[in-house]
Amino acid sequence: MDILIARKSAAGLVAVLAMWLLLPGCGKKGMPKPPGAAPLPAIDNLKSTTRGEVLWLTWSIPEKMGDRASDVVGFVVYRSKLATTESPCENCPVVFRKLGQIPVEGTFSGGIGKKTFSYEDVLEKDHRYVYQISTLISNGQESPGSNPVTVNF
């Protein structure tokens, strides 16, 4: 009887260990991607201009979008804002907040990289801003963030 209980306990322990080893999977973390969906290219030409307390961001659709440029339905604007009195954390990631979404209207008759888009924001004195823009296409897929633009005001 004791041998039978010992065998069942050993079998149960082996089963638990096997599940513990097999459940973690490949260990690859991240958002699921639709099958066959290639990643979108990030905007790489985000620029800023300031006049007084008004900031203008300008960019264009990346040439690498190719045929998928016709699927672009808008852009998402992200901003990080810190008071200049706060000491920045050198190794901390920038925390962005979604400011808004800009719809795209019309077609790109002049070519993909030729049409310039813009966004206007009002700045507060004694703040450090970091902006990024991402492209949004009709299936809901969003590109990685653009090159960051930093503004100290």
Write out the DSSP string of 15-31.
HHHHHHHHTTTT---S-
Per-residue pLDDT for 88 more than 50? yes
Hey, what domains does the chain have and what are their CATH numbers? 47-152 (2.60.40.10)
Q: Is the pLDDT of residue 142 over 90?
A: yes
CA 101 – CA 140 distance, rounded (Å): 13
Q: What is the pLDDT of residues 40-73, one digit of tens each?
A: 899 999 999 999 999 999 999 888 888 888 889 9
- Kindly tell me if the per-residue pLDDT of 20 is higher than 90: no
pLDDT in tens, 21-46: 555 555 556 666 556 667 889 999 99
Q: What is the mean pLDDT of residues 67-91?
A: 88
Query: What mean pLDDT comes out for the span 92-112?
Result: 78
pLDDT at 69: 83
Residue 83: both structure tokens together: 């008071």
Q: What is the percent of the chain with per-residue pLDDT over 90, rounded to a whole number?
A: 46
pTM of the model: 0.71
* pLDDT in the model for residue 1: 47
Q: Which residue has the higher pLDDT, 112 or 101?
A: 101
Say if CB 146 and CB 44 are below 8 A apart: yes
